[in-house]
Amino acid sequence: RRPALLRREAVAATVPVAVAALLAGSGPAVAAGSVGTAGVGDPYFPLAGNGGYHVSHYDLTLRYDPVGRHLDGRAVLTARATQRLTRFDLDFQGLKITGLTVDHVKAEHRRDGQELVVTPRRALRKGERFQVAVTYNGTPGPVTDPDGSADGWIPTDDGAFVAGEPQGAMTWFPADNHPLDKSSYDFTITVPQGRTAVANGVLLGQRTAKGRTTFHWRQTEPMAAYLATATVGAFQVTQYTTRDGIKVYDAVDPREAAAAKPVLKQLPSVLEWESRLFGPYPYRAAGSIVDHAPEVGYALETQTRPVYDRAPDLSTLVHESAHQWFGDSVSLTSWKDIWLNEGFATYAEWLYAEQHGGDSAQKAFDALYARPATDGLWAFPPGDPGSGAHIFGTPVYARGAMTLQALRTAVGDRDFFRILRAWAQQHRYGHGTSAQFERLAERLSGKNLDRLFTTWLYTQGKPRHP
Ligand code: ARG
Ligand code: ZN
């Protein structure tokens, strides 16, 4: 969540997209049909992800020096070709590559912007499993997003804040960098003794030798690259297991500890409350990373373990936790459907308030609806923000949540909560689209909801009162 952006509207800074590059792959086609495309065809981020293969597992070995801001990395990707491939791309920006093999054989490669173009010694057959190993190093830094915000590897005074939505994963590891591709991950991260490196999933072990500590993390359930983290800092660590058997690991910057502690204590009860509403929590691990990185300006729902730029308030904790169902387990198919993440996580905040002695969701809806037609809330429809510059704008969060309240009013509480649960359950560990959500809501309620969704998701300007 971006507290700053919710107050100050995202300024449109639309970057003309390199559609030509998308259509052409990242160079002249060698043999039509056997070159993996440079993107998966996302209209907002045409170069994000790659065509021709899926990654099943990333094995990332990293060593970070927070003083010299130097990163040494080795990424081993296990993938499967979905077509014959004489050439394919990875997304990787910045760092220097010192070695690259495909199935242990050196492979030709070149850089072209964020595309790392790989030509294996021999063509890969359709359906073939293969392994890509990339060794690299340098000083990682963030990428600037179309809305002017930064994500990726963001150095801090004691380590790095690492969050990759929507593009930044490629600043620290070579990836198939689009939520369409989900994979398991292993992280082996070495940092100076006294620093902690926190990634996703379960901590398998840590050992200290010669002034350095190595942390081994494993994310078993499928994860999109943008939800990976390897945040480094001088953290205070708390570990425990909830009564549902979820392994919790909290890492907190001491400067944020006093404010964070009472909020983080609520995580088990928040996850239990959300599990009752949305169905079982999707992961075996949970926790929080509370950094001190005021320059970042947002939190991210990094899978199993959201990362916060400061001590979160309870509503923000509820928001990032709700993303574990909506956004992380049920992933986007296309960035333009971002309201399926942000509208749902914002609506979870409303529901939490409603069921814990605060305002009702209807009251939250009414307060927003009272805003004049000239307000930024009505600047564009949430189901079609128009470009990557708008994916974190107020309409996506607030009018996205209003859409769910309008749906609840139309179908009634019983069907509404059945729809939310069914959405999380039917697309668990997978993907969803707005159209699929609309069909599900119609099927479960037995109502024609075409007008409702057209009005709230796709129609420009302030809708007439439902
Ligand atoms: N998904 C995050 C949240 O609302 C926001 C991420 C913002 N990212 C960015 N690059 N501005 O929980
Ligand atoms: Zn969010």
Instruction: Read off the pLDDT of each residue in 129-152 and give the average, rounded to a whole number.
Output: 98
Instruction: Read off the pLDDT of each residue in 318-343 and give the average, rounded to a whole number.
Output: 98
Q: Which of ligand 1's atoms lies nearest the C-alpha of 149? A: 11
Global pTM reads: 0.94
Model confidence at 2, pLDDT cuts 50, 70, 90, reads low
- Beta-bridged to residue 133, according to DSSP, are 76, 101
Ligand 2 centre distance from Cα of residue 4 (Å): 13
Q: What is the residue with the minimal CA distance to atom 8 of ligand 1?
A: 165
Residue 4 has pLDDT above 50, yes or no: no
Q: How far is CA 173 from CA 37, 136, 226, in A?
A: 19, 9, 11
Q: Identify the pLDDT of residue 33.
A: 80
The helix/strand count (H/E) of the chain reads as 12, 22
CA–CA dist 343, 348 (Å, integer): 9
Token code pair at residue 60? 């990332």
Ligand 2 centre distance from Cα of residue 1 (Å): 4
- Beta-bridged to residue 96, according to DSSP, are 137
Q: Which of ligand 1's atoms lies nearest the C-alpha of 151? A: 10
Residue 237 has pLDDT above 90, yes or no: yes
Task: Ligand 1 pocket test: pick from 392, 394, 396, 397 the residue with the most ligand atoms within 8 Å of its Cβ.
Answer: 392
Residue 127 has pLDDT above 70, yes or no: yes
Quick check: CB of 158 below 6 Å from ligand 1? no
CA–CA dist 99, 86 (Å, integer): 19
Q: 326 φ, ψ to 5°?
A: -105, 95
Q: Which residue has the tokens 């509480």?
A: 413
Q: What is the residue with the minimal CA distance to atom 11 of ligand 1?
A: 149
Residue 455 has pLDDT above 50, yes or no: yes
What does the pLDDT look like over 397-430, one tens digit per residue? 999 999 999 999 999 999 999 999 999 999 999 9
Q: Lowest-pLDDT range, 24-33, 63-72, 375-384, 414-423?
A: 24-33
Q: Identify the pLDDT of residue 104.
A: 98
Which residues are within 8 A (CB) of 347 and not within 5 positions of it... i.e. 6 or more apart?
A: 361, 400, 401, 404, 405
Residue 431 has pLDDT above 60, yes or no: yes
Q: Identify the pLDDT of residue 9.
A: 36
Residues above pLDDT 90, as percent of the chain: 92
Ligand 2 centre distance from Cα of residue 341 (Å): 6
Mean pLDDT of the residues in the chain: 94
Q: Identify the pLDDT of residue 13.
A: 32
What does the pLDDT look like over 167-180, one tens digit per residue? 999 999 999 999 99
Cα angle 184, 177, 83; round to 5: 85
Q: What is the residue with the minimal CA distance to atom 4 of ligand 1?
A: 1
Ligand 1 centre distance from Cα of residue 81 (Å): 31
Beta strand 150-155 pairing with 160-163: antiparallel
Model confidence at 454, pLDDT cuts 50, 70, 90, reads very high
Q: Identify the pLDDT of residue 10.
A: 36
Q: Which of ligand 1's atoms lies nearest the C-alpha of 327? A: 1
What does the pLDDT look like over 270-322, one tens digit per residue? 999 999 999 999 999 999 999 999 999 999 999 999 999 999 999 999 999 99
Residue 136 has pLDDT above 90, yes or no: yes
The rounded Cα 248 to chain-centroid distance in angstroms is: 20
Ligand 2 centre distance from Cα of residue 396 (Å): 10
Q: Identify the pLDDT of residue 465.
A: 78
Ligand 2 centre distance from Cα of residue 339 (Å): 9
CA–CA dist 167, 322 (Å, integer): 21
Q: What is the residue with the minimal CA distance to atom 12 of ligand 1?
A: 1
What does the pLDDT look like over 12-47, one tens digit per residue? 333 333 333 344 444 444 445 899 999 999 999 999
